Amino acid sequence: MFSVYKLKPVFQKLLQPILYALYKMGVTANQLTISAIILSCLMGFGFLTYHTYYQSILIIPFGLFLRMALNALDGMMARQYNMQSQLGEILNEMGDVISDMAIIFPFVILPGINPVIIILFGVLAILNEFAGILSKALGKERRYDGPMGKSDRALVIGIFCLVFFFWRDVIYYGDWIFGAASALVLVSTIIRLQKAL
């Protein structure tokens, strides 16, 4: 099933010059992971100010692109420059969950969208990541199957915010958009659990 995650090798190839520059500067893989977590928290807090500063909505789409780059770079840095560690793995997995919570849950303040749907989307996203890790805990590879894995969720959220900035009426379709996204996250989780068995 298609997932944005399948485009990751192409994205990584484009990031290779940046990776080399960061390595020469002495940046470590764990520092990149921590930076992605901090960025996600700042994005969430920034989004909460959109009633006062409407432009802050754009923090999400542009911030998510940067977060995806950092998430790709930390893994590349760890593998290519022998920086893999248990701490790095913990930071990476915990960071994904923290980042999802920091970015998704602030959407409950959006008028016209049922906050229960946003909370459901966030909880299912956490379970989706847990299902991916569970496969590895059972002795198999870490699962990233879509639809609506981490990269797909970022794309949906980013596009929604970008459209919302220019066309506020998209909010009236929010329940359907995030409801459908939640259903796809559930499908992804079931696929990951099936492949873990």
Domain count, the chain: 1
Per-residue model confidence as pLDDT tens digits over 26-82 = 999 999 999 999 999 999 999 999 888 889 999 999 999 999 999 989 989 999 999
- Say if residue 88's pLDDT is above 80: yes
Classified as helix, coil or strand, 49 is: coil
Q: At 15, list the tokens.
A: 């990031």
| CATH number, position 183 | 1.20.120.1760
pLDDT in tens, 23-32: 999 999 999 9
From the number of C-beta atoms within 10 Å of its C-beta (0-12, 13-18, 19+), residue 2 rates as: exposed
Q: Which domain holds residue 128?
A: 4-196
Model-level pTM? 0.90
Q: Which residues contact 129 (CB under 8 A, 6 or more apart)?
A: 93, 96, 97, 100, 150
The answer, yes or no, to whether residue 185 has pLDDT greater than 70, is yes
pLDDT of residue 9: 76
Quote the CA–CA distance of 185 and 183 in Å, as a whole number: 5
